[in-house]
């Protein structure tokens, strides 16, 4: 008898809150990522570039989406191993940047399992404002480890 | 000075660049994005963007006038990726080079937008001696463990791309 599995094709990946977006968060990410573009750090530089103020790095939001995918993949792998199947490893992913994220915005991250079979696992995960505006949409392709 | 189109026959290629994926660097990155999953932070290769910025500059476009439209990463050798990006060892050195693989325009509702597509191949070298003196490239036979594809949207182009000055290709 195999234990009930939580994840299958179509399963929901529940929303979790992303870390808060603050000027401090953006400064820390600029340092760690090496992306020192001033539109993420300095309001006057952002305004000079035609923006209302500093915006979050797209790749910071993409990191939150990717972390949600990687944590979900870990849970799926735990289930696969418990069922005597091979685990999945990341093969490729894409993130599309749909809207800018501003300091103070609350972001949530979740999605669904697009497909899950013996060969591959595809996760669709996005970051959205509480109002439902999609900021970043990710598609993650994992393949069964060989 | 002659103007040249960046196309398949005459591509814009960056120099080789290095990035230290040391324990400290990976740890700081992990912390800055609050990476909570096990394994390497999947977006770590975003640090390997100096080649992209180099090409944007060669095209005469201000980095403040480009928006990141889409980012793709392909892990060609995931075991090597894990080894290089986990930050567990004293540090792998990443070696990468970027090419402008495509550029095109799309008519939007109010303006014509320009798109730049850049592809970066990332190699890992475990010893400094593997990096050529003048960063000429990875050791012969080295295969990239990952490939990044970045799509930029140019918000305020200075001039049509096909009139952009051609940078020196190393």
Given the structure tokens 């189109």, which residue do they identify? B5
Residues 103-162 of B with CB under 8 A from A: 155-156
- In tens, the pLDDT along A69-121 reads 999 999 999 999 999 999 999 999 999 999 999 999 999 999 999 999 999 99
Q: Nearest CB to A97: which of B28, B50, B69?
A: B69
- In tens, the pLDDT along B34-88 reads 999 999 999 999 999 999 999 999 999 888 788 899 999 999 999 999 988 987 7
Rounded alpha-carbon distances, angstroms, from residue A62 to A40, A68, A138, B57, B154: 15, 10, 8, 25, 20
Q: Nearest CB to A62: which of B25, B67, B71?
A: B71
Encoding tokens for residue B79?
A: 């075991």
Q: Would you list the DSSP string of B63-128?
A: GGGEEEEEEEEEESSHHHHHHHHS--SS-EEEEEEEEEEEEEEEE-SSSEEEEEEEEEEEEEESSG
Closest CA to B87 of B5, B165, B29: B29
Which residues have CB under 8 Å from B35's CB, separation 6+? Answer: A63, A67, A70, B29, B41
Q: What is the pTM of this model?
A: 0.89
| Triad B165, B169, B170: Cα angle to 5° | 150
Q: In Å, how far is B35's CA from the nearest CA of chain A? A: 6
Confidence of residue A5 (pLDDT cuts 50, 70, 90): confident
Q: Which helix (H) or strand (E) holds B56?
A: helix B50-58
Query: Which pLDDT value is given to residue B1?
Result: 31
Residues of A in contact with B35 (CB under 8 A): 63, 67, 70
Q: Which residues pair with B150 in a beta bridge?
A: B71, B118
Contact B78 A33 (CB under 8 A): no
ipTM: 0.94
């Amino acid at each position: 008898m195999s234990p009930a599995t939580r994840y299958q094709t179509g399963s929901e990946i529940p929303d979790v809150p992303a870390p808060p977006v603050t000027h401090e968060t953006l400064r820390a990410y600029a340092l760690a990522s090496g992306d020192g573009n001033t539109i993420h750090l300095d309001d006057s530089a952002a305004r000079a570039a035609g923006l209302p103020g500093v915006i979050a790095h797209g790749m910071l939001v993409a990191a939150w989406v990717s972390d949600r995918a990687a944590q979900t993949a870990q849970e799926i792998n735990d289930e696969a191993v418990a069922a005597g199947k091979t685990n999945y490893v990341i093969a490729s992913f894409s993130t599309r940047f749909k809207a800018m994220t501003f300091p103070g915005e609350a972001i949530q991250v979740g999605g669904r399992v697009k497909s899950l079979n013996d060969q591959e696992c595809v996760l669709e995960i996005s970051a959205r404002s509480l109002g439902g505006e999609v900021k970043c949409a990710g598609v993650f392709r994992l393949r069964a480890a060989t | 000075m002659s103007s040249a189109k960046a196309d398949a026959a005459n591509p814009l290629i960056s120099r080789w660049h290095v990035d230290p994926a040391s324990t400290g660097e990976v740890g700081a990155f992990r912390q800055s994005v609050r990476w909570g999953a096990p394994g390497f932070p999947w977006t770590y290769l975003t640090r390997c963007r100096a080649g992209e910025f180099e090409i944007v500059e060669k095209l005469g476009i201000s980095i403040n006038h480009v928006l990141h439209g889409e980012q793709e990463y392909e892990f060609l050798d995931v075991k090597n990726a894990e080894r290089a990006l986990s930050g567990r060892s004293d540090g792998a050195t990443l070696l990468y080079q970027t090419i402008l693989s495509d550029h095109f325009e799309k008519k939007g509702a109010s303006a014509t937008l320009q798109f730049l597509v850049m592809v970066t191949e990332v190699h890992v070298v475990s010893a400094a001696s593997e990096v050529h003196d003048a960063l000429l490239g990875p050791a012969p036979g080295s295969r990239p463990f990952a490939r990044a594809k970045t799509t930029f949207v140019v918000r305020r182009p200075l001039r049509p791309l096909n009139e952009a000055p051609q940078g020196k290709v190393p």
